């Protein structure tokens, strides 16, 4: 669709500039000339009947919801052949855009409480979101969480095994098992998705992911595989957080939290503040983002839990830095920029060693050794000390990979190790 900047819809909504493009709609910044306030204008670009119905459902669903943690809808309609939704203009970043070092323990937990407040409000009006993921959770410039994109939402009364059968919508990595089995989805399906987002924040990765982007394998894992304990990935995650997230990720919805308010209460108790009390009409002041935790009788924060949570976010920051350095090393190796690859791989190894992540340390050691092999195979001048050090490091990684049953990685490591040893023999 061509850029609509400068057009006025329905004689009232002036479009000023494009904010972003999506699969079925574009979003523009605009002005409501009647009320003289900034707005977001969502314009449908895919005009097929199913998409139009989904678009109108989003407007209807969001218009029913009046909550400070949900992006408000002001109007919807059609004009000049365009279908549009007029929404609150939100300035900020999505949860996916916030770096790990931009989160503290207190802030992150408060973000999740506000996300759950939004879902509690929607669920109590029989609306489930069905597409909770980091990119649909906005954090405004003043630190308020806003849940966006109810385009896949459904009223509970509209859900049935018949309407759900064969219909898999949403983002695969965050969907509940029942969504893949043609079963009725409900509020607990949204809570499963919250669990996936929490898992990602605390460990740096989603619980089920295929290294080859095989969606069938991911779906199979959601339905059949137990997620690894968060503490096996990040040892600094406190047992309380581990238990909460794993309960959210139960395959059987009956074993999860049964509603968002149960989880709000547990998270509120964990950080030493009272769970927010319901307000008439579903609108309430949300949990504060900044400032020290409030203390109430029977709900104080154990100092060891506070310290463990602080270490968690410190570890998450280090973990993400390790992943970023590993990626930089891989890219530099492909460009044959071996000094840069060496520097960034060493940074990654240092990060994984600091947080005691033995698996990522071993896998990165393998990548680093493969780069050393590539470098010395291409160069007429071989660095004997570098080769011997790489043999020593990779030999230790082989033991770890073997103990963990990492067959594919183990085979590659043994091949690289054998090649490095052959080079070393030639240097003697």
- What pLDDT, on a 0 to 100 scale, did the predictor assign at position 330? 83
Domain boundary (37, 68, 88) is at: 88
Cβ proximity of 84 and 44 under 8 Å: yes
- What pLDDT, on a 0 to 100 scale, did the predictor assign at position 43? 87
Show the domain range for 80: 8-88
Both 194 and 269 in a single domain? yes
- What pLDDT, on a 0 to 100 scale, did the predictor assign at position 151? 53
CATH number for position 54: 3.30.200.20
Both 286 and 378 in a single domain? no
Residue 273 is assigned to a structural domain of this protein = yes
Number of domains in the chain: 3
Both 290 and 344 in a single domain? no
Instruction: Report which of 116, 408, 133, 409 is spatially closest to residue 275, judged by C-alpha positions.
Output: 116
Residue 318 is assigned to a structural domain of this protein = no
Packing angle, helices 239-248 and 303-334, rounded to 10: 70
Both 105 and 84 in a single domain? no
- What pLDDT, on a 0 to 100 scale, did the predictor assign at position 409? 86
Determine phi and psi for 106, rounding to 5 degrees.
Answer: -65, -45
Determine phi and psi for 343, rounding to 5 degrees.
Answer: -60, -45
Both 176 and 227 in a single domain? yes
Per-residue pLDDT of the chain (428 residues; tens, 9 = 90+): 567 888 999 999 999 999 888 767 788 999 999 999 999 998 888 777 776 777 776 677 677 788 999 998 888 888 888 888 898 999 999 998 888 767 776 788 899 999 999 999 999 988 888 889 998 999 999 899 999 887 555 444 443 333 333 334 457 899 999 988 878 789 999 999 999 999 998 888 999 987 766 777 888 889 999 999 999 988 877 888 899 999 999 999 999 999 999 999 999 888 775 444 333 333 332 322 233 333 333 334 445 555 555 555 566 567 667 777 887 788 888 888 999 999 999 999 998 888 888 888 999 999 999 999 998 888 777 788 889 999 999 999 999 888 888 888 889 999 999 999 998 888 77
Residue 316 is assigned to a structural domain of this protein = no
Both 359 and 242 in a single domain? no
- What pLDDT, on a 0 to 100 scale, did the predictor assign at position 298? 36
Both 103 and 18 in a single domain? no
Which residues touch 207 (CB under 8 Å, ≥6 apart)? 196, 199, 227, 228, 249
Both 151 and 232 in a single domain? yes
Name the token pair of 259.
Answer: 């509603």
Q: CB 151: neighbour CB atoms within 10 A?
A: 25
CATH number for position 389: 1.25.40
Domain boundary (57, 88, 119) is at: 88
Scanning the structure block, which residue is given the tokens 């160069």?
Answer: 379
> 3-state DSSP call for residue 25?
strand
- What pLDDT, on a 0 to 100 scale, did the predictor assign at position 149? 80
How far is the C-alpha of 316 from the C-alpha of 201, rounded, in Å?
A: 8
- What pLDDT, on a 0 to 100 scale, did the predictor assign at position 276? 43
Both 174 and 206 in a single domain? yes
- What pLDDT, on a 0 to 100 scale, did the predictor assign at position 385? 87
Q: Which long-range contacts (CB under 8 A, 24 or more apart) does 18-21 make?
A: 21/45
Give the residue numbers marked as catalytic: 131
How far is the C-alpha of 133 from the C-alpha of 47, rounded, in Å?
A: 25
How far is the C-alpha of 132 from the C-alpha of 171, rounded, in Å?
A: 8
Domain boundary (51, 69, 88) is at: 88
- What pLDDT, on a 0 to 100 scale, did the predictor assign at position 365? 93
Residue 2 is assigned to a structural domain of this protein = no
Both 241 and 293 in a single domain? yes
């Amino acid at each position: 669709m061509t850029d609509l900047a400068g057009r006025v819809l329905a004689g009232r909504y002036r479009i000023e500039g494009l904010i972003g493009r999506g699969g079925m709609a574009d979003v523009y910044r605009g002005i409501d000339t009647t009320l003289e306030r900034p707005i977001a204008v969502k314009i449908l670009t895919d005009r097929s009947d199913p998409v139009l119905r989904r678009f109108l459902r989003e407007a209807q669903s969001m218009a029913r919801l009046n909550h400070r943690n949900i992006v408000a809808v002001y109007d919807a309609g059609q004009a000049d052949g365009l279908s549009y939704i007029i929404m609150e203009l939100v300035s900020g970043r999505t949860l996916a855009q916030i770096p790990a070092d931009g989160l503290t323990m207190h802030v992150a937990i408060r973000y999740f409480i506000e996300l759950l407040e939004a879902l509690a409000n929607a669920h109590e009006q029989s609306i489930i979101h069905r597409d909770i993921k980091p990119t649909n959770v906005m954090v405004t410039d003043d630190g308020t969480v806003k849940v966006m994109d109810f385009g896949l939402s459904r009223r509970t009364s509209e859900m049935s095994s018949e309407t759900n059968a064969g219909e898999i919508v949403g983002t695969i990595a965050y969907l509940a098992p029942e969504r893949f089995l043609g079963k009725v989805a409900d509020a607990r399906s949204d809570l499963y998705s919250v669990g996936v987002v929490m898992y990602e924040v605390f460990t740096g990765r989603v619980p089920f992911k295929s290294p080859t982007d095989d969606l069938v394998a991911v779906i199979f894992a959601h339905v059949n595989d137990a997620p690894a304990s968060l503490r096996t990935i990040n040892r600094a995650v406190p047992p309380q957080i581990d238990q909460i997230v794993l309960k959210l990720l139960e395959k059987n919805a009956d074993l999860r939290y049964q509603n968002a308010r149960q989880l709000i209460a547990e998270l509120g108790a964990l950080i030493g503040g009272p769970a927010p009390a319901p307000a008439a009409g579903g609108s309430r002041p949300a949990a504060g983002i900044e400032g020290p935790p409030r203390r109430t009788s029977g709900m104080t924060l154990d100092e060891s839990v506070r310290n463990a949570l602080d270490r968690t976010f410190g570890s998450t920051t280090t973990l993400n830095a390790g992943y970023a350095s590993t990626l930089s090393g891989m890219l530099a190796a492909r460009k044959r920029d071996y000094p840069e690859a060496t520097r960034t791989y060493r940074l990654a190894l240092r990060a994984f060693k600091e947080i005691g992540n033995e698996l990522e340390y071993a896998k990165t050691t393998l990548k680093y050794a493969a780069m050393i092999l590539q470098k010395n195979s291409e160069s007429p001048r071989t660095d004997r000390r570098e080769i011997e050090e790489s043999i020593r490091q990779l030999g230790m990684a082989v033991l770890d990979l073997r103990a963990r049953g990492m067959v594919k990685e183990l085979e590659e490591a043994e091949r690289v190790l054998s090649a490095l040893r052959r080079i070393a023999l030639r240097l003697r």
